[in-house]
Structure 1
Amino acid sequence: MNLSNVFICIGCAFAVASGQVLMKVASLSWNEMGGLFNIRTLSWLVTAFAVYGLSSLVWIYVLRHIPLSQAYPFLSITFLLVPIASAVFFSEKFDWVNVASAVLIVAGVSLNSFVRQNIS
């Protein structure tokens, strides 16, 4: 996998994570506004779906050019990005379990990329 494809995969992971965070913002707005059919809540929800939908289209592009077995590990980065974003934006807990999980995820993605690159 070439470097531009790696960046596209990472960008897709960031877009998926952003969509998840925006869905959380929409849910908080829904609670605060007391209903789904509020312009603020619907705006957040439409934005979340747009970002998530765009990331799905990029993912389809990725799968046209990269084997799924090589591309999929990059989506695991979302399991790192979403907890960090939830701690930063929503003051949710980020403890040693999150850190250990993040280290394992980054190590796994790095190992997968390194081995695939050196085998090919």
Structure 2
Amino acid sequence: MSGSLTLPMLALILFCVLAETAREVCFKQAASENALLSALTKPVTWLGIVFWAVELLAWTAVLEHVPLSIAFPLMALSYVVIVFAGALIFKENINLRHATGVFLVTAGVACVGVTGL
């Protein structure tokens, strides 16, 4: 394992962030009904599981090459992307406190990302 973050590995981490976001959007869409068993019969639930499996494989590849102390904090970008996905797709509200938290997470990720390059 190298001790640095390469551009291909950064791209793979960003892919993991997008796969995680897609998974959460699928699960949220499936959870629109109250019944758990009903959610399990929806194709969107199974699509979310596929995104999870693909992310698992990609994340394992990342961890082969990037130190966990760099890779894992970069995955915090998923918090940011999921907030925006919730706002865009599900019309969820983002108040000032929430937006400030998202900004701070982004700033922290930027610090870790620059450290790893």
TM > 0.5 fold call: yes
Shift of 1:84: 1.1
Whether the aligned pair in 1 keeps the contact of 2:31 and 2:39 (CA below 8 Å) is: no
Query: Are the structure 2 counterparts of residues 70 and 38 from structure 1 closer, same or farther at C-alpha, using a change threshold of 3 Å?
Result: closer
The answer to whether 1:90 aligns with 2:90 is yes
TM-score (norm 1): 0.84
Q: What 5-or-longer segments of structure 1 have no aligned partner?
A: none
Alignment of 1:1-120 (within 5 A): 1-28=5-32, 30-31=33-34, 36-37=37-38, 41-117=41-117
Shift of 1:36: 3.1
**Separation of aligned partners in 2, 1:38 and 1:21:** 13
**Separation of aligned partners in 2, 1:109 and 1:82:** 15
- Please tell me the residue identity of whatever aligns with 2:93: K
**Separation of aligned partners in 2, 1:94 and 1:38:** 26
Q: What 5-or-longer segments of structure 2 have no aligned partner?
A: none
Which of the two has higher C-alpha Rg? 1
Q: Secondary structure at the match of 2:16?
A: helix
Superposed CA offset, 1:4-62 (max 9, x none): 1111111101111110111000111x44xx673589x5201110111112111111111
What is the Cα-based RMSD across aligned positions, in Å?
1.9
Higher relative contact order (CA 8 A, sep 6+): 2
TM-score (norm 2): 0.86
Whether the aligned pair in 1 keeps the contact of 2:30 and 2:39 (CA below 8 Å) is: no
